[in-house]
Structure 1
Amino acid sequence: MYKVDTPISDEDFEHYFHLRWERLRQPWNFPLGSEKDEYETVGEHRMVRDSQGNVVAVGRVHLNTAEEAQIRHIAVAKSAEGKGLGKLVLSALENEARRQGATRLVTNSRELSIPFFSACGFEVEQEAPNELGQLRRQQMVKQLTDMNTIMLHPKWCQLLQETWHDTIPISEQMGIKLHQYSGSTLEVRASLNKNINLHGTMFAGSIFSLATLTGWGMIFLKLKEKDLTGEIVLGDGDIHYHKPITQEPRAICNIETLDGKFSLLERKKKSCIKLQVDILDGDTPVAEFKGVYWVLPSRDDPTP
């Protein structure tokens, strides 16, 4: 399981900057300290921790103007490559830029990073100044709109959203919307105003529904990616609440938490999938949901 955090303590920043230096400066023989610049105190920093608390991905965003935010220094530990953590960090930084009112996102990308940023909706605009006088870069731009958050397989994501609303009408009444999908991480959000109780917080039942639909949605998308079909049902769900939700309900499911064999469906057998969904209020973790789902072979396919 991976968790996005904001570094706060001196120890947090020590690990944060060391990973940045290790991945972005050391390979070119730049000394410790070269990983920092004049925007550290005005920027917003995010990092990802693994289940052991190790910092495995980092990144920063700062405002150039009231309308333009700049992404810099995204780095992922070598041991954690290929898990979608770069996109997880970028998503957190993009959300912060949107929160601050930015309508345009820019980054000065090295050649090797252009495919990554292109996949996240950025386009090359012009050549940027060389980094530290040596490393060639291209300026890439993303116009921030409500519709261009990171979304892999947008047609399947749209189908999932329609499936929720068509088959579970309460999901539309709750304002549940798929926010983004990177292939490894699914984030779903709900409207607090549509789920608020007399204490000004989100109903516990609404939180549970948000969590179960998010887990269901992750399995739905994985079935599509594997070209499999099946009926997804919740077998068991357990949720632990730590704090109330008072601002922004978010549910995040990471592929690393999935445990089960989709391949059983190929033999027309039911498959048991276990997973975890983390519930956040903005960036603050408030609950964890652990679900057991069964995927039953399509009714058109007789089960032996």
Structure 2
Amino acid sequence: MYKVVTPTSNTDFDAYFQFRWAHLRQPWNFPPGSEKDEYEQVAEHRMIVDGKGNIVACGRVHLNTAEEAQIRHIAVDTHHQRKGLGQMMMSALENVAKELGAERAVTNSREISIDFFTACGFYVEREAPNELGMLKRQQMVKKLTENNSLVMHPKWCKSLQQTWSDTIPITEHMGIKLYQYTGRTLETRASLNKNINIHGTMFAGSIFSLATLTGWGLIYLQLKERGLEGDIVLGDGDIHYHKPITMKPRAICNIESLSGKYSPLEKQQKARFELSVNILDGDTAVAEFEGVFWVLPATENENDDH
């Protein structure tokens, strides 16, 4: 289970800068300290940690002007790559940039990273100054808008949102919307105003529903990825609440938390899946959901009707 956190203590920052140097400077034989620059004190720093608290990714954003934010120092540990963590970090940094009032984001990308930033919605604008006097880079730009997000397979995502609306009407009343799908990570968001209790926080039942639908949605999209169909039902769900939600309800489900086999569905048998969903208030982790879902093949549903 991964989550985005903000380094706050000296210990946090020591580990954060050590990770940054080890992944972005040491491979080029630059000494410790070369990972820092004059913007550290005015920048917003983020890192992704695993279930044991180990740093597995990092990134930074700062304002160049009131309208422009610069994203730098994106790195993902080699043992945790191809799990959507780069996109997860980019989403967190872009959200920070928008909250700071930026209207566009820029990044100076090395050649090997251009495809990644392009997939995140950036385009090459011009050649950028070489990094540390030797690493050739291109400046890439992305316009930031309120609904700016990375959505792969938009037709499937639209179908999922419509399925929720048609078969689970409560999603409309709760204001639950699919926000982002990277192919490996699904993020949903809900309206706090539509789910607020007398204490000014989100109903616990609404949080549980948001988590359940997010897990349900990731399985739905993964079935689409494999050309499979079935009726997804919740078998069991357990949630642990740590803090109330007072600002921005978010739910994130990563594919690495999903376990189960699709092969039974190919044999027209029901399949069992387990997954985890992280619930956040903005960038603050507030709850974790563990769910067991069953996918019933179409033929089984038809037989049940007779």
Partner of 2:279: 279
Contact 1:129 1:137 in 2 (8 A): yes
Deviations 1:210-248 (A, max 9, x none): 111001001011111111111101111111212211111
Give the Cα–Cα distance (whole angstroms) in 1 for the partners of residues 129 and 116 of structure 2: 20
Contact 2:186 2:254 in 1 (8 A): yes
Deviations 1:254-293 (A, max 9, x none): 1111111112111111001111111111111111111111
Q: Quick check: 1:182 aligned with 2:182?
A: yes
Shift of 1:147: 3.8
Contact 2:269 2:300 in 1 (8 A): no
Partner of 1:289: 289
Residue type of the alignment partner of 1:151: V
Q: Secondary structure at the match of 1:32?
A: coil
Give the Cα–Cα distance (whole angstroms) in 2 for the partners of residues 170 and 280 of structure 1: 20
**RMSD (Å), alpha carbons:** 1.5
Partner of 2:46: 46
Contact 1:268 1:302 in 2 (8 A): no
Partner of 1:106: 106
Shift of 1:146: 3.3
For normalisation by structure 1, the TM-score amounts to 0.97
Shift of 1:302: 6.8
Residue type of the alignment partner of 1:272: R
Shift of 1:301: 8.3
Shift of 1:86: 1.1
Residue type of the alignment partner of 1:298: A
Deviates more, 1:55-64 or 1:10-19: 10-19
Partner of 1:211: 211
Give the Cα–Cα distance (whole angstroms) in 2 for the partners of residues 260 and 63 of structure 1: 44
Give the Cα–Cα distance (whole angstroms) in 1 for the partners of residues 242 and 78 of structure 2: 33
Partner of 2:162: 162
Structure 1, unpaired ranges of 5+? none
Give the Cα–Cα distance (whole angstroms) in 1 for the partners of residues 54 and 300 of structure 2: 47
Q: Secondary structure at the match of 2:93?
A: helix
Q: Percent identity?
A: 70
Deviates more, 1:236-245 or 1:67-76: 236-245
Structure 2, unpaired ranges of 5+? none
Count of paired positions: 304
Deviates more, 1:32-41 or 1:78-87: 78-87
Partner of 1:82: 82
Q: Secondary structure at the match of 1:41?
A: helix
Alignment of 1:16-165 (within 5 A): 16-165=16-165
Contact 1:74 1:86 in 2 (8 A): yes
Partner of 1:172: 172
Contact 1:215 1:276 in 2 (8 A): yes
Moved over 4 A (4+): 300-303
Partner of 1:12: 12
Q: Secondary structure at the match of 1:200?
A: coil
